[in-house]
Chain A
Amino acid sequence: MSTPRELATGRLDGQALGGLARGLVDRVGLLPVLMLALVVFFSLASENFLTRGNISTILTQALFLIIVSVAQTLVLLTGGFDLSMGSAIALVSIVVGLQLLDHPDAPLTGLAIAGLAGIAVATGIGMVNGFFVSLFRVPPFIVTLAMMTAISGLALKVSRGVPVFGLPSYFSSTLYTGRVLGIPVPWLATLLILVVMYLLLHWTRFGRYWYAIGSNPEAARLSGISVRLYLFLAYSIAGILVGITGLLLTARVGSGEPTLGASFPLESIAAAVLGGVSIRGGEGNLFGAALGAIFLVMLRNGMDIMGISTYTQLMITGGLLVLAVIIDNWVHRER
Chain B
Amino acid sequence: MASLLRASEVTKRFPGVLALDRVSFELHAGEVHALVGENGAGKSTLVNVFAGSLRPDAGTILLDEHAVQIRSPHHAQELGIRAVFQQLSLVPALSVAENIFLGRELTAGGILRKPVMRARSLDQLGIFDAGIDPRARVRDLTVPQRYLVEIAKATLVPPKVLILDEPTASLTDRETAILFRLVRELRERGVGIIWITHRLEELYEIADRVTVMRDGRHVVTMPASETTTDRLITFMTGREYEQIYPEIAPVSSDTPVALQVEGLSTTTGLRDIHLTLRAGEILGIGGLIGSGKSQLGRALVGLEPVSSGRVTLAGITLQADRLSAHELLRHGAMYFPADRRGEGLLTNRPVFENMTIAALRRFQQLGFLLQKGRERRRVLDFIERLDISPPAPDARVRALSGGNQQKVALAKGLIRDTSVFIMDEPTQGIDVGTKIAIYQLLHDLARDGAAILYITSDLLELLHVCHRVAVMYQGQIVATVPHAEASEERLLQYYFGHIRKDSANGVNAA
A residues adjacent to B (C-beta < 8 A):
199, 203-205, 208-209, 211-212, 215-216, 218-226, 278, 282-283, 332, 334-335
Contacts and interface: CB of A to CB of B under 8 A. Distances in A.
A283 B353 contact: no
Nearest to A222: B325
A242 B399 CA distance: 37
Interface in B342-360: 342-349, 353, 356-358, 360
Given A204-B370, A212-B353, A215-B347, 13 more contacts: A203-B369, A211-B349, A215-B349, A216-B342, A216-B343, A216-B346, A218-B342, A219-B344, A220-B357, A222-B337, A222-B344, A224-B358, A278-B348
Contact of A215 (B335, B348, B399): B348
Contacts of A220: 346, 357
Contact of A205 (B361, B399, B412): B361
Contacts of B361: 205
B412 A223 contact: yes
B120 interface: no
B343 A204 contact: no
Contacts of B329: 223-224
19 contacts: A199-B369, A203-B372, A204-B368, A205-B364, A208-B353, A208-B360, A209-B360, A215-B346, A216-B343, A216-B346, A218-B342, A218-B343, A219-B343, A222-B337, A223-B358, A224-B325, A224-B358, A282-B348, A332-B348
A19 B398 CA distance: 18
Interface size class of B (residues with CB under 8 A): 20 to 34
A222 B346 contact: no
B482 to A, nearest CB: 31
B239 interface: no
A208 B412 CA distance: 14
Contacts of B353: 208, 211-212
A140 to B, nearest CB: 19
Contacts of A226: 326
Contacts, number: 74
Contacts of A218: 337, 342-343
B369 A283 contact: no
Interface string B22-50: 00000000000000000000000000000
Closest 6 CB pairs of A and B: A215-B346, A205-B360, A224-B329, A223-B358, A218-B343, A224-B326
A223 B353 CA distance: 12
A25 to B, nearest CB: 16
Given A208-B353, A212-B357, A218-B342, A223 B325 contact: yes
B330 interface: yes
Nearest to A200: B368
Interface of B: 15, 301, 325-326, 329-330, 335, 337, 342-349, 353, 356-358, 360-361, 364, 368-370, 372, 398-399, 412
A211 B325 contact: no
Nearest to B341: A216
B369 A225 contact: no
A221 B342 CA distance: 12
Contacts of B343: 216, 218-219, 222
Contacts of A211: 346, 349, 353
B382 to A, nearest CB: 16
Contacts of A282: 346, 348-349
A225 B335 CA distance: 14
Given A211-B349, A216-B343, A218-B342, A223 B398 contact: no
B357 A223 contact: yes
Contact of A216 (B15, B326, B347, B360): B347
Contacts of A283: 348
A11 B361 CA distance: 51
Nearest to B356: A208
Nearest to A221: B325
A335 B349 CA distance: 14
Contacts of B369: 199, 203-204
B357 A225 contact: yes
A128 B348 CA distance: 29
A219 B345 contact: yes
A226 B370 CA distance: 19
Contacts of B370: 203-205, 208
A203 B363 CA distance: 11
A221 B348 CA distance: 16
Nearest to B363: A205
A109 to B, nearest CB: 33
A274 B484 CA distance: 62
Q: Most chain-B CB neighbours within 10 Å: which of A203, A215, A335?
A: A215
Contacts of B301: 222
A222 B347 contact: no
Contacts of A225: 326, 357
Nearest to A213: B346
A334 to B, nearest CB: 7
A145 to B, nearest CB: 26
B346 A219 contact: yes
A205 B367 CA distance: 10
Contact of B15 (A203, A224, A278, A335): A335
Contact of B349 (A204, A205, A212, A221): A212
Contacts of B346: 211-212, 215-216, 219-220, 282
Q: Most chain-B CB neighbours within 10 Å: which of A211, A221, A222?
A: A222
Contacts of A335: 15, 398-399
Q: Most chain-B CB neighbours within 10 Å: which of A204, A216, A219, A335?
A: A219
Contacts of B15: 335
A219 B357 CA distance: 10
A204 B364 CA distance: 8
A222 B412 CA distance: 11
Contacts of B335: 222
Contacts of B344: 219, 222
A334 B398 contact: yes
Nearest to B399: A335
Nearest to A281: B348
Nearest to B349: A215
Contacts of A223: 325, 329, 357-358, 412
Contacts of B357: 208-209, 212, 220, 223, 225
Nearest to B301: A222
Nearest to A280: B348
A216 B349 CA distance: 10
Nearest to B337: A222
A232 to B, nearest CB: 16
A29 B399 CA distance: 20
A225 B345 CA distance: 13
Nearest to B416: A224
A226 B327 CA distance: 11
B244 to A, nearest CB: 29
Contacts of A208: 353, 356-357, 360, 370
